[in-house]
Amino acid sequence: IKITIIDREGVAHAIDAPTDMNMNLMEIVRSYELAPEGTIGICGGMAMCASCQCYVESDHQLPEVTDDEDAMLAEAFNVKDNSRLGCQIQMRPEMDGLIVELAPEA
Ligand code: FES
């Protein structure tokens, strides 16, 4: 699928995201090196660091926020109504066209 990720400098990257490799959005950002090493995915995708926070800018139906994600976002900085943890969003075919912006480094 094609998705757009706006990096922390405000640059939009249109990229191909595989849906058959069990990757989440944080892992996609890392694999395309859209954020400096060590600034995203710090907890390894356990919903315990919020370094993968992003703002969902398109109106895609995404998986429900889990209790763990909700609790982490409640403690995170720069949280907005459209904040999600990238590590909790597995890439799925219906997310084609998704647009997300990386939250600032906290
Ligand atoms: Fe730590 Fe997502 S990688 S909360």
pLDDT digits (tens, 9 = 90+) for 67-79: 999 999 999 999 9
**How much is the average pLDDT of 72-98?**
98
Task: Look up the domain containing 77 and give its range.
Answer: 2-102
Task: Give the burial string for 3-18 (b: 16+ CB within 10 Å, else e).
Answer: bebbbeeeeeeeeebe
Number of domains in the chain: 1
The answer to whether the CB of 45 is under 6 A from ligand 1 is yes
Reply yes or no on whether the pLDDT at 106 is more than 90. Answer: no
User: Is the whole-model pTM more than 0.90?
Assistant: yes
The answer to whether the CB of 42 is under 6 A from ligand 1 is yes
> Domain containing 37 — which CATH number?
3.10.20.30
The answer to whether the CB of 26 is under 6 A from ligand 1 is yes
How many residues can be counted in the chain?
Answer: 106
C-alpha–C-alpha distance, residues 36 and 81, integer Å: 25
Q: 35 CA distance to ligand 1 centroid (A)?
A: 13
pLDDT digits (tens, 9 = 90+) for 3-51: 999 999 999 999 999 999 999 999 999 999 999 999 999 999 999 999 9
Cα-based distances in Å from 74 to 18, 45, 62, 67, 81: 30, 17, 19, 10, 11
The answer to whether the CB of 73 is under 6 A from ligand 1 is no
Q: 80 CA distance to ligand 1 centroid (A)?
A: 17
Q: ipTM for the complex? A: 0.99
**How much is the average pLDDT of 85-103?**
98
Kindly give the pairing relationship between strand 2-6 and strand 99-102.
parallel
C-alpha–C-alpha distance, residues 28 and 53, integer Å: 13
pLDDT bin (cut points 50, 70, 90) of residue 105 is very high
Q: Return the ligand 1 atom nearest residue 53 CA.
A: 2
